[in-house]
Amino acid sequence: MKLYNTLNRKIETFKPIKDDEVTLYTCGPTVYDYYHIGNIRNAVFNDTLRRTINASGYNVKHVMNITDVGHLVSDADQGDDKLEKGALREGKSVWEIAKHYTEAFKSDMLAMNVLPPNAYVDKNNNDNYARATNFIVEQIEMVKLLIDKGFAYKTEHAIYFDVAKLPSYGILTGQKLSEKETGARSDVVTDPEKRNSHDFAVWFMAIGHFENHTMQWDSPWGSGFPGWHLECSAIIHATLGDPIDIHTGGIDHIGTHHPNEMAQTEAAYGHILANYWVHNEFILVDGAKMSKSKGNSYTLENVKSRGLEPMALRLIYLQAHYRTELNFSWDNLESAQNRLSRWRSIADLLFQKDKVTSITDKEHSHGGVDILGALQNDLDTPKALELIEHEFGNFENKPICFICLDNLIKSIDELLGIKIQGNDIDAKTKSLIHERHLARENKNWELSDKLRDDLHTSGIGIKDNGNLQIWFRL
Ligand code: AMP
Ligand code: ZN
């Protein structure tokens, strides 16, 4: 399997630490608002990666965090805590905000057929997400280590990681610290005791601006709460053990969050955090990054309320390679929905098996298409879809081998996570389609033509393949 490793800026052959197991960590949501479909791209990308590794013969141990404390509005330790802001906006407690948006996130993941993480169990919440607030002790331990080893220092307001102490700091971006500094924003430095503008907080004291911060815990440095970057390092150490094989995230994490995670682990434990760093590109709307703050974001609810399916959204992500920008439009989503419907109508032929003489084993070698091979090539999902499309074209136009069709549908389901069996047409339309099938079988051409026209009027096209019929949305 080949993967683009941001760390070395090239495509590499993937070699896990163990022979039969892969450890995978994904930075999860900050639960202060609904996930938008840009965020969901990240989730589907992770899921495709996980399914591919799994199908390649490894047991994947996957952990994902939930940020329910400490993520300030700016990655550079400025502004308010996002959860506190959400609570203020909605007149709820931070705990209620976290719970509500965690649940919303989980139901989005379910609808998107994204596999939940599997290597950590949160018994209290009865799920597999590693909430930052469940790892406060581990985070405090890590801060202690960083201070003991001389990598962190205390000011009145916070404990900072001293980036100048770690020569490898920032290797992920390919920039030297000195180069980064020239571009540093002066507004970032709010604490006059901070030594270097790139030093980042690993612990905030509940004083001054944060005096009334709702989530605070006792620590050897007084009451406070962890800095955002800390949770990922601490959670990985506690659940998977470091180094891990693969760490993923969106490209926005390459600049700050991931270098800071790496620095914390290296400084505290003396080895790197992950061997492969894999990042997905953004979703754009009219050329601009989709983001909550820009007000150009859509949620899965928006998709559903337009009568479009989560699986069509999944298809739209797969149509683009994860390392290319993807411009979102409702037109594109409509086309993906149509494509899905067409696949589905062909998949439906499996239920008409008894009605036709299909190709038999003797006449056919069940070649199939190598979807896994395409995915193993740095998750080449556009190539995988091309292969699938070609195969569906054959099914549409040639006598059908049901074993091949069945295999194809299974691999689309297992590898790409797209459920195509099922229905997106109502029962009445479905029965009209069936009636037409019977009319043709009975050679009642008049009725079958009439039914085809009726279906056409209600937006369903019909194509005949031998004595099978294929329906599709017009
Ligand atoms: P956040 O909750 O903001 O940390 O975002 C969750 C994940 O979604 C992160 O891995 C981000 O990098 C990713 N992400 C945020 N915006 C976009 C976007 N417009 N397109 C693709 N991924 C995104
Ligand atoms: Zn992270």
- Output the CA 179–ligand 2 centroid distance in Å: 24
The pTM (predicted TM-score) of the whole model is: 0.88
For the cut 80, the answer to whether the pLDDT of residue 360 exceeds it is no
For residues 257, 260, 262, 268, the Cα torsion angle rounded to the nearest 10 degrees is -140
**pLDDT digit string, tens, across residues 228-261:** 999 999 999 999 999 999 999 999 999 999 999 9
Q: Ligand 1 pocket: which of 41, 42, 109, 280 to mutate (most atoms <8 Å of CB)?
A: 42
Could you tell which of 25, 30, 36, 39 is best to mutate to test the pocket of ligand 1, judged by most ligand atoms within 8 Å of the CB? 39
Residues with CB under 6 A from ligand 1: 27, 29-30, 38-39, 41-42, 249-250, 252-253, 280, 282-283, 289-291
Instruction: Give the distance (Å) from ligand 1 centre to CA of residue 326.
Output: 13
228 closest CA partner among 209, 249, 200: 200
The torsion angle over the Cα atoms of residues 324, 330, 336 and 342, rounded to 10 degrees, is -170
How many other CB atoms are there within 10 angstroms of residue 243's CB atom?
18
> Nearest Cα to 80, choosing from 274, 182, 212?
212
In 399-436, which positions are buried (b, 16+ CB within 10 angstroms) versus exposed (e)?
Answer: ebbeebbebbbebbbebbbbbbeeebbeeebeebbeeb
pLDDT of amino acid 186: 42
- Per-residue tokens: 112: 């998107």
Of 72-76, 148-152, 300-304, the one with minimum mean pLDDT is: 72-76
pLDDT value, residue 441: 83
Q: Above 90 in pLDDT, residue 463?
A: no
- Kindly report, residue by residue over 153-193, the tens digit of the pLDDT: 999 999 999 999 999 998 888 776 666 653 344 444 478 89
88-135 per-position pLDDT tens digit: 899 998 899 999 999 999 999 999 999 999 999 999 999 999 999 999
> Per-residue pLDDT tens for 2-34?
999 999 999 999 999 999 999 999 999 999 999
pLDDT of residue 128: 97
Q: Which band of pLDDT confidence, cut at 50, 70 and 90, is reported for residue 429?
A: confident
Q: Near ion ligand 2, which residues have CB within 5 Å?
A: 27, 232
- Residue nearest atom 18 in ligand 1 by C-alpha distance: 38
Identify whether the C-beta of residue 219 lies closer than 8 Å to the C-beta of residue 185: no
pLDDT tier, 355 (very low <50, low <70, confident <90, very high otherwise) = low
Q: How confident is the model at residue 402 (pLDDT cuts 50, 70, 90)?
A: confident
The confidence score (pLDDT) of residue 189 equals 44
Given a contact cutoff of 8 angstroms between Cβ atoms, the answer to whether 155 and 201 are in contact is no
Residue nearest atom 1 of ligand 1, based on CA coordinates = 29
Q: Picking from 105-109, 128-132, 395-399, 424-428, which range would have the lowest pLDDT averaged per residue?
A: 424-428
| Cα 141 to averaged position of ligand 1 atoms, centre (Å) | 29
- Ligand 1 midpoint to CA 165 (Å): 30
Checking phi first, is residue 285 left (phi over 0); if not, alpha (psi -120 to 50) or beta?
beta
User: Which is the closest atom of ligand 1 to the Cα of 297?
Assistant: 19
Q: Which of ligand 1's atoms lies nearest the C-alpha of 290?
A: 19
Question: What average pLDDT score do residues 354-367 get?
Answer: 58
